Amino acid sequence: MSDTKELTRHYSRSDLLGAIKRGLEALGKKRETATLDDLALVDEFHVGGRQASIELLDQMDVSADQFVLDIGCGLGGPARFAADYYGCKVAGVDLTEDYVTAGRVLCNWVGLSDKVSLRQGSALNMPLVDGTFDAAYMMHVGMNIADKAALCSEVYRLLRPGARFGIYDVMRVGEGELTFPVPWSSVPETSFVARPQEYKDALAAAGFKIVAERNRRDFALDFFEKQRVRLAASDGLPPLSLHIVMGENTGEKLQNLVTNIAENRVAPVEVIARKIA
């Protein structure tokens, strides 16, 4: 089985919209009354959720007149948030057709289809025009891409001179074998976790200048501890949460991720770069 097929199998979920609708109904909501904050419970598929999105995007100098690229957009949660909060237009690309199809409908539900467009495609060969975007970001995407140099070159192609590229990925920070499954991969063969320096080398080779870097290990552990406390005080998983996109073994994946972070094998890391004119 190719890496692409294995990744598609890992992420694909049937009846995503049905599950989201049922989750909303359990919360006393209907699709007509669903808000971005409601959907954030399921469509912010990265460590730290909405808060992590805000803290990354606030470093991107995004404004209302810009066109922003979301690489590995998933269901489109960060893209919709960026369009709503900053007023910009966003194009998202994701390998998983199930996510893109559901994400387009979610854009309709919250009235953002005019500002957010989602399409299926590979991050290494995006069906987009050179020099189109004023900024780009990706959140928890590079762990599934072996060729970081090709990824950075492709993003460089699509950005205008001076544009920023924000990365928020789980990166290798220590030694030791990772425990699987984890949210981005069920098996080691489709996990391509790299050290921050590998990202920075790939960015520099493509023509980017590093602007900032930040290890978010403490932020991640605090986030997961708060999640644990909330879950312990409840009667099980909330009706609308990441288990909808992560599947039946969500708890195992998350626990393994927490263990890998706590033992300092990996950590969520931000890297911000700027395209040199």
Angle between helices 97-109 and 16-26 (to 10 degrees): 40
265 and 195 Cβ atoms separated by less than 8 Å: no
Question: Looking at residue 182, what is its pLDDT?
Answer: 97
What's the CA gap between 171 and 165, in Å, rounded? 17
Domains, the chain, with CATH or none: 3-275 (3.40.50.150)
* Amino acid at residue number 4: T
For 6-10, which contacts have Cβ atoms below 8 Å and span 24 or more sequence positions? 6/187, 6/189, 6/190, 7/95, 7/96, 7/144, 7/185, 7/190, 8/95, 8/96, 10/184, 10/185, 10/186, 10/190
pTM of the entire predicted model: 0.95
Which DSSP string do the residues of 78-101 spell out, in sequence order?
HHHHHHHHH--EEEEEES-HHHHH
Q: Which residue has the tokens 């694909």?
A: 12
Task: Tell me what pLDDT residue 163 has.
Answer: 98
Residues 75 and 180: their CA atoms lie apart, in Å, by 24
pLDDT for the residue 1: 35
Residue 61 tokens read as 């100098």
Helix (H) / strand (E) element for 107: namely: helix 97-109
Closest CA to 128 of 89, 98, 154: 154
The reported pLDDT for the residue numbered 3 is 61
Residues 6+ apart with CB under 8 A from 56: 137, 139, 166, 168, 270
Say how far apart CA 262 and CA 186 lie, in whole Å: 19
pLDDT values of the chain reduced to their tens digit, one per residue, 277 residues: 346 777 767 777 778 999 999 999 999 998 888 999 999 999 999 999 999 999 999 999 999 999 999 999 999 999 999 999 999 999 999 999 999 999 999 999 999 999 999 999 999 999 999 999 999 999 999 999 999 999 999 999 999 999 999 999 999 999 999 999 999 999 999 999 999 999 999 999 999 999 999 999 999 999 999 999 988 887 777 888 999 999 879 999 999 999 999 999 999 999 999 999 7
Distance CA(200)–CA(272), nearest Å, equals: 9
The pLDDT assigned to 31 comes to 87
